A and B are shown apart, each in its own frame.
Chain A
Amino acid sequence: MAITDIRAFAHLTETDIVSLANEFDAIRRDVENSRGPRDARYVHSVIRLQRGLEVVGRCLLFGSRHRSRWVAGTTALSLAKIIENMELGHNVMHGQWDWMNDPEIHSTSWEWDQTGPSEHWKRAHNYAHHTYTNIVGMDEDVGFGILRMTRDEKWRPRNLAQPLANVVLALTFEWGIALHDLAAEKQMRGVPPAQWNSQPNKDFAVKALRQIVKDLVFFPALTGRNWRSTLYANLTANVVRNIWAYLVIFCGHFPDGAEKFTVEHYENETHGEWYLRQLLGSANISGGKAMDFLTGNLSYQIEHHLFPDLPSNRYPEIAARVRALCAKYDLPYTTGPLSRQYLLALRTIHKLALPDRFLKATSDDAPETSSERKFERLRAGAAEALTDSLTGRRRGLLTALRTHAAQAVADRRARRGRTRSGRLPAAV
């Protein structure tokens, strides 16, 4: 079972959670009050860079039969698409730049360079995913309805094909997202899914068709005799963007340490507990400024989930304050390099393809999900002190996780030791 009692899991009291919420609110206030010309300049220069890259890429591909121009053009175009989708589209549609009152850079008017219409995505993502983050059964982004990403979900025979489905999803990610959002849109608008001429279907068809025709017909045709290599270049750029977006998104909620929650928890959730769920349910990607920029600052997934509508260029400074709060309340701050975070997600995808009887851990204490019951044995042990008698520091969730991990290692060693000593005489 995923987390139902987040307070017990986080080792915090009700008062702790209220003051934690106040501290998060203060971060939001400070950033909101200091948004200004510097931030506006940032987003304007990103827009200039993105559109410039796109123009350069498209122009280079007029000579796409030359290998060097093909590579350069495809790289520029891939970058343009990545920046458009991540740092611009995703963040603008979150309303991060609505404070500028600019009708052209506004969540209600932005249309992104992706298969699906922005309107569908906003509803599925901003509303469903960001409100119900990681609640099993409510947040459709947990596995996107295709992959079993937590053992809280029942195993079905089709999960056996999960390793393959994962590869297909990565290559066609924009289509996966678009169809996923289309289904969510129909559900939310109460449109029968089978009605072929429904408004959501029409909107989807118009947008998808324009996107396909642009990249696979018009631009290749414009480059004349080079049409074939331009077509491949455009396809490549789309696939590169797909894989990259897939990687970033899978590293946000699926590595170990990004917790899952139950519907029961959500029903009684307070404002502070909402923050806590976002913090415990998300994972960051460590890396430099280039990583931050190319992921659209989703390398700060935790900060993004705490404050989805604050400008992305401010996430680094927010992160410093969030880390300080985590230290203060002894909470974990899940982060790691892209490669490690992705391998952890990949491990979950492959492991959970198997039925539960092949899995050792229970959903109370597994790598990808756990619950407050994980610490039952710890609690039953020595009476817990809230602060460390030596350092005076709080002993909270992070300490508990470390103790628990140390105990697991010790248990394993002890077991191994026993079997070894039990086996020795026989060998002899």
Chain B
Amino acid sequence: MGLKEWIEKPAAHVATRDRSISNILRGAAARLTTPLLPDDYLHLVNPLWSARELRGRIVSVSRETPDSATIVIRPGWGFDFDYAPGQYIGIGLHIDGRWHWRSYSLTSAPTRDEKLISIAVKAMPEGFLSTHLVGGVPEGTVVRLAAPKGDFVLPDPPPEKILFLTAGSGVTPIMSMLRTLDRRAGERELDLPDVVHVHSAPTADRVMFRSELERLDATHDKFRVYIRHTRDQGKFALSELDEVCPDWRERQTWACGPQQMLDDITAHWSAAGIEDRVHLERFAVSRADTSGSGGTITFAKSGKTVTVDGATTILEAGEKVGALMPFGCRMGICQTCVVPLEKGHVVDLRSGKERAEGERVQTCISAAAGDCTLDV
């Protein structure tokens, strides 16, 4: 072990942007603060001065539509601004003594210039945290962050022809992609690639980022946005693509929206034999159709148990009783939350498939099917 590694060792697990310098300092100081890190003292002075857990401060909350808002956050130490457009972050809010976690797509373009990131949140009717974020979170609030993750990303350089298909708040990861394209176009004095964006929202005033989409449409020749107001005009049928975007088969497509829409897209693209050209982001877990019978879940490492119905995910159940659950996207795509199922059965809420002991399961989209034990 070299000297540098030795000095860094107590801080080796800390996430930092530029490991070399900050972690040497952190590791050296940790020889004095052991078993804590210097961050554990410093964040008491300024909550953002800690890279042990990513933190951020809410800079502004601005309405996009009556039920959605853009939240701008200034991340503290250790946040990596080199995320890919389309990725999401975890955000934790301290409410009534507990930390509540959700994941939201980043809407900002990756840049270190302003040291800010943004997410857009739509208040769900029974969404405790989303309602709080849209309607009640004061500016200046300190939040916890989880590092950006996700495979639903726009490559650099982007493909020459792109189709974006979005509905409702599914537009959020696409905004990050569009802003990235727009920014790069400005920086590199290039034009945008050929982009068609089909977006659906119930009414005109419920279209998130409406003015920005229209401005992009007006300033870039190669960007065309088609907005569908579904309440008046009806749902956008995929057969209409031939009219709106006749060359959709040649394009790389990114789609984000409700479960049904994504299922239809999968079927449509498969029928055309080009399912490798579509990239999907599933936002919400549909859990009404399939549900396990519920049961008592035991978390083996902490010895905690909880009895839940068949609609509560194991992740939610674990967090409710305070088991330290690994988590990521909370919608079944990132595999961060995967833990071994020691005993019993769980059911995948999306597919209704049962999983048996010995398998590793995604706790965020699995519910108990009878009593079960998880090794976490």
Interface residues, chain A, CB within 8 Å of chain B?
Answer: 35-41, 47-48, 51-52, 55, 95, 98-104, 106-109, 111-113, 207, 210-211, 213-214, 218-219, 222
On chain A, the residues within 8 Å of B92 by CB distance are 101
Pull 24 A–B residue pairs with CB atoms less than 8 Å apart, ordered by A. Answer: A35-B97, A38-B97, A39-B97, A40-B94, A40-B97, A51-B40, A98-B302, A98-B322, A98-B323, A99-B321, A100-B322, A101-B322, A104-B40, A108-B301, A112-B35, A207-B35, A210-B10, A210-B31, A210-B34, A210-B35, A211-B34, A211-B35, A214-B32, A218-B31
On chain A, the residues within 8 Å of B99 by CB distance are 100-102
Please judge, given known A-B contacts A109-B324, A218-B31, whether A101 and B53 are in contact too, CB under 8 Å. no
Please judge, given known A-B contacts A35-B97, A36-B96, A37-B96, whether A99 and B322 are in contact too, CB under 8 Å. yes
Contact at A219–B32, with CB atoms within 8 Å? Answer: yes
On chain B, the residues within 8 Å of A106 by CB distance are 324
Contact at B97–A108, with CB atoms within 8 Å? Answer: no
On chain A, the residues within 8 Å of B101 by CB distance are 101
Residue of A nearest to B35 (CB): A111
- A52–B45 CA distance with the chains assembled, in angstroms: 11
On chain A, the residues within 8 Å of B34 by CB distance are 210-211, 214
Residue of B nearest to A43 (CB): B97
On chain B, the residues within 8 Å of A104 by CB distance are 40, 52-53
Does B100 sit within 8 A of A, measured CB to CB? yes
On chain B, the residues within 8 Å of A107 by CB distance are 302, 324
What are the interface flags for B1-23 relative to A under an 8 Å C-beta threshold, 1 for contact and 0 otherwise? 00000000010000000000000
- A44–B97 CA distance with the chains assembled, in angstroms: 10
What are the interface flags for B96-109 relative to A under an 8 Å C-beta threshold, 1 for contact and 0 otherwise? 11111100000000
- The 8 Å CB contact of A100, one of B10, B97, B304, is B97
Segment 275-304 of B: residues with Cβ below 8 Å from A: 301-302, 304
Please judge, given known A-B contacts A95-B302, A214-B32, A214-B34, whether A100 and B98 are in contact too, CB under 8 Å. yes
Does B41 sit within 8 A of A, measured CB to CB? yes
CB distance from A219 to the nearest CB of B (A): 7
- The 8 Å CB contact of A101, one of B44, B52, B98, is B98
Residue of A nearest to B28 (CB): A218
Does B319 sit within 8 A of A, measured CB to CB? yes
CB distance from B372 to the nearest CB of A (A): 20
On chain B, the residues within 8 Å of A210 by CB distance are 10, 31, 34-35
Residue of A nearest to B52 (CB): A104
Interface size class of B (residues with CB under 8 A): 20 to 34
On chain A, the residues within 8 Å of B94 by CB distance are 40
Interface residues, chain B, CB within 8 Å of chain A?
Answer: 10, 31-32, 34-36, 40-41, 44, 52-53, 92, 94, 96-101, 301-302, 304, 319, 321-324
On chain B, the residues within 8 Å of A52 by CB distance are 44
- A255–B219 CA distance with the chains assembled, in angstroms: 83
- A270–B139 CA distance with the chains assembled, in angstroms: 53
CB distance from B327 to the nearest CB of A (A): 10
Minimum-distance CB pairs A-B, first 3: A98-B322, A40-B97, A111-B35
On chain A, the residues within 8 Å of B97 by CB distance are 35-41, 100
Please judge, given known A-B contacts A99-B98, A102-B99, A103-B53, whether A218 and B32 are in contact too, CB under 8 Å. yes
Residue of B nearest to A126 (CB): B303
CB distance from A220 to the nearest CB of B (A): 12
CB distance from B247 to the nearest CB of A (A): 48
- A107–B53 CA distance with the chains assembled, in angstroms: 16
On chain A, the residues within 8 Å of B322 by CB distance are 95, 98-101
On chain B, the residues within 8 Å of A98 by CB distance are 302, 322-324
- A211–B10 CA distance with the chains assembled, in angstroms: 12
On chain B, the residues within 8 Å of A213 by CB distance are 31
18 further contact pairs, Cβ within 8 A, besides A47-B44, A214-B32? A38-B97, A40-B98, A51-B36, A51-B44, A98-B302, A100-B97, A101-B92, A101-B319, A101-B322, A103-B324, A104-B40, A108-B302, A108-B324, A111-B35, A111-B36, A210-B31, A211-B35, A218-B32
Residue of A nearest to B319 (CB): A101
CB distance from A131 to the nearest CB of B (A): 10
On chain A, the residues within 8 Å of B100 by CB distance are 101
Residue of A nearest to B376 (CB): A108
Residue of B nearest to A108 (CB): B324
Residue of A nearest to B39 (CB): A104
CB distance from B290 to the nearest CB of A (A): 27
CB distance from B137 to the nearest CB of A (A): 16
- A48–B40 CA distance with the chains assembled, in angstroms: 10
CB distance from A218 to the nearest CB of B (A): 6
- A289–B36 CA distance with the chains assembled, in angstroms: 28
- A51–B43 CA distance with the chains assembled, in angstroms: 11
CB distance from B34 to the nearest CB of A (A): 5
On chain A, the residues within 8 Å of B98 by CB distance are 40, 99-101
On chain A, the residues within 8 Å of B96 by CB distance are 36-37
- A415–B90 CA distance with the chains assembled, in angstroms: 77
- A109–B41 CA distance with the chains assembled, in angstroms: 16
On chain A, the residues within 8 Å of B32 by CB distance are 214, 218-219, 222
Residue of B nearest to A41 (CB): B97
- A95–B10 CA distance with the chains assembled, in angstroms: 24
- A219–B34 CA distance with the chains assembled, in angstroms: 12
Contact at A55–B35, with CB atoms within 8 Å? Answer: no
- A31–B322 CA distance with the chains assembled, in angstroms: 15
CB distance from B376 to the nearest CB of A (A): 9
CB distance from B141 to the nearest CB of A (A): 14
The winner among A101, A103, A222 for most chain B CB atoms within 10 A is A101
- A388–B118 CA distance with the chains assembled, in angstroms: 72
On chain B, the residues within 8 Å of A207 by CB distance are 35
CB distance from B162 to the nearest CB of A (A): 38
On chain A, the residues within 8 Å of B323 by CB distance are 98
Residue of B nearest to A113 (CB): B35
- A207–B324 CA distance with the chains assembled, in angstroms: 23
CB distance from B118 to the nearest CB of A (A): 24
CB distance from B315 to the nearest CB of A (A): 11
- A204–B203 CA distance with the chains assembled, in angstroms: 64
Residue of A nearest to B324 (CB): A108
Residue of B nearest to A103 (CB): B53
On chain B, the residues within 8 Å of A35 by CB distance are 97
On chain A, the residues within 8 Å of B301 by CB distance are 108
- A101–B319 CA distance with the chains assembled, in angstroms: 7
On chain B, the residues within 8 Å of A40 by CB distance are 94, 97-98
On chain A, the residues within 8 Å of B36 by CB distance are 51, 111
CB distance from B50 to the nearest CB of A (A): 9
On chain B, the residues within 8 Å of A36 by CB distance are 96-97
On chain A, the residues within 8 Å of B52 by CB distance are 104
Residue of B nearest to A117 (CB): B35
CB distance from A154 to the nearest CB of B (A): 33
CB distance from A201 to the nearest CB of B (A): 18
- A98–B318 CA distance with the chains assembled, in angstroms: 11
CB distance from B97 to the nearest CB of A (A): 4
CB distance from B207 to the nearest CB of A (A): 35
On chain A, the residues within 8 Å of B324 by CB distance are 98, 103, 106-109
- A47–B43 CA distance with the chains assembled, in angstroms: 12
The winner among B31, B34, B41, B96 for most chain A CB atoms within 10 A is B34
Residue of B nearest to A35 (CB): B97
- A341–B324 CA distance with the chains assembled, in angstroms: 38
